Structure formats: structure tokens, C-alpha cells
Structure 1
Amino acid sequence: MNSRYDAASAAMVFTTTHLSAFAVAAPSHRFGDLQRVAWANDAIDAMAARDVIRGVSETRYEPHAEVTRADFIALLVRALELRGSGSATVAFSDVSSSAYYYDELAIASELGIARGTGDGRFEPTLAISRQDVMTLVQRALAAADRELPAGGSLDRFADQAEVAAYARESAAALVAAGIVQGVGDGKLEPR
């Protein structure tokens, strides 16, 4: 059962299908390889406790590893608690039904979030680009009925011409919403 903390009411909020006694508990995840990213420990622990992230093992997170397309889709679907019909399948030729991210990718595909890289492929093991992150986040927020402002602009970024055509609208919407602010030096580094 997923839940969330509602700061306005200072309470944990969840949906149930039956009346029972409930207790709030959170599993403790302590990855042993976070010393060099101490600033991120609390966020990583909180996301691991909610099963948004899982690490590469029970004790290792590998915070400096590149994030793959598969890992990002899994994280995004879990973080937003997106649900599909339960009968969706993945039509990408390079994704096995036994893949650890299969269920999340099926949901993302059904909701129109994940559309692949072309030729019926998803390329799950490729490192995800910033422009793909922006595109997937915008689509996921729309699927979760969290619309972003329209009409944003990328003009303030020196490398805005490097943003692929398919990602421009998503990137502009995330910039307008204040979710994306660039990497410094007036750049987005989309690729």
C-alpha cells in the first residue's frame, strides 16, 4: 500500500479497500556507498523507503552510475504512483517480459509516456539524456493530471538549439514551471 505525507494536515494519507487498524512504518534502507554524496543521503533513504528507488543491491546504490532509460522509467512510474489497466504489455522488441522494469515500462507505454527510440525499440540500457528525462517527466505529469504551464521558452539557454524537436515543448514547459533551471552557464546540456 502506498502512502504519502500531507504537510497541510500533518498526517499520512492512503487509500484502503477495507476498515482495519493501520500503523505507519518505513523500512530503513542504508546503502553503504553514499559517503561521497552525503548531501543526498536523506533523499535517497526516503525514496528507497517508498520503493521508488531500489539500488543495485541491498547495500549498494552506486550514486555515480549513469541512469539508464529503464531505470528512469521505473523510478518515474513509482515516484508518481502511476497505474495502468493491469493488462498492458510492452511492444518493444528489445525488452524481455522478465526484465526488472517490465511492469513499469508497460504502464508508461500504456499511458503514452514511453514511446521508444524508433524501429520498435526502447534501448533500455542506454544512459538517459537530459532531454529524454524532460520529455518523459512532462508526459508523466500530464498522465497524472498535473498539467504544466504552456508557452515556455528556451531562449535564455545558449545551447537551446541542441534540444531535439521532439523534446522542445516538454523542456519549455518544465522551464516555465520552474522544474528545470539548467546546469549553469546559461545551458541545458540536453544531450
Structure 2
Amino acid sequence: MRVLGVDPGLTRCGLGVVEGGGGRAVHAVAVDVVRTPPGEAVAQRLAAVADAVEGWIAEHRPDVIAVERVFAQHNVRTVMGTAQVSGVVALVAGRAGLPVAFHTPSEVKAAVTGSGRAGKEQVTAMVTRVLSLGAAPRPADAADALALAVCHCWRAPMLARMAEAEVRAAEVAKHHRARLAAARRAR
């Protein structure tokens, strides 16, 4: 599975592609950060991010896009920019026919470091180690994008099995309810 991880941000948007094999084997394909100038109009900045993501999709052919889920922060401007970039990334992915998976920061940290409260340096160190990189990806947005992709590679099989189990459980429950209703009618 090839995953494009996106750490959304209006000033710096991290992009990282990771290839996952069986089990926990993963390797980095590419990583970069898209920067947009704060003095530019928001529409132009969002268009620049959209163009970059479209280019990465065309070049790296991911199977899925993993995006960090927007979470509440004290800085409303930061949250707005992050949410806008997330929406643009989801739109670009949808137009390309790619599924989008959202992961919370604590899910990503827990998957990569074992602790949902890990700091940025710990995440960067583990991403560097897990992907056998020669140097730590900088800035942190680049490391976070790779961490998102790794998290999805590791979590996707479990999430798929859980979804299948929920479908089977719903089918069994429906069948059981039908049998109960039939038994009540027969009385």
C-alpha cells in the first residue's frame, strides 16, 4: 500500500509518501514541505497547496491519502488554516478517486512512538528510525507527514478488519431479530 501523508498547514504543509508491505515493513518514498507566503491571499495559498498535492498524486500514485484530523487549538487562525487545507486536500483526493483517511494527532503519535502524548522530537526520532532515514526529516511538518503515512499503513488493516466485523455483526443481529420476530408470530 502506498500512502500520501499530509500534515495540513497554510504556511507549511508537510507531504510524505510511504510504501507499506506486509506487517510493519515500511519505507519512505518522498518527503517535502509546501510553503506559502503569509502575505498572499488565502485563495492563492490554498490553490498552491492543491497544485502541489495534485502533482504528488500524479508523480507518486498513492492508494490512499492520510490527513491529520483538525483538532481544537487556542489559536483560531491556525485552526482555520489547517481546516481549509484539509478540505482542499480531501477535495483533490476525491477528484483523483482516492480515499481519504483522517487520523488524530494522538493516534499518529501512539502508532509511531507507542505514546499518544509524545512530543514532536520523539515523533521525528521514531520516524527516522522506523523508515531507516539517514537524517531526520526537517521541519517537523515533514516528519509529521511521514508519521501520518506510517500510521495509516499500520492501522488500515486493523480498521478494515473492524469494519468487516461490524458488517458481519449487523448481519447476524438482523438475522437474529428476524428469527425472534418469527418465533413471536408463531406463538
Fold conserved (TM > 0.5)?
no
Where is the helix percentage greater, Structure 1 or Structure 2? 2
TM, length-normalised to structure 2: 0.25
TM, length-normalised to structure 1: 0.25
**Larger relative contact order (C-alpha < 8 A, sep ≥ 6)?**
2
Query: Which entry has the higher C-alpha Rg, 1 or 2?
Result: 2
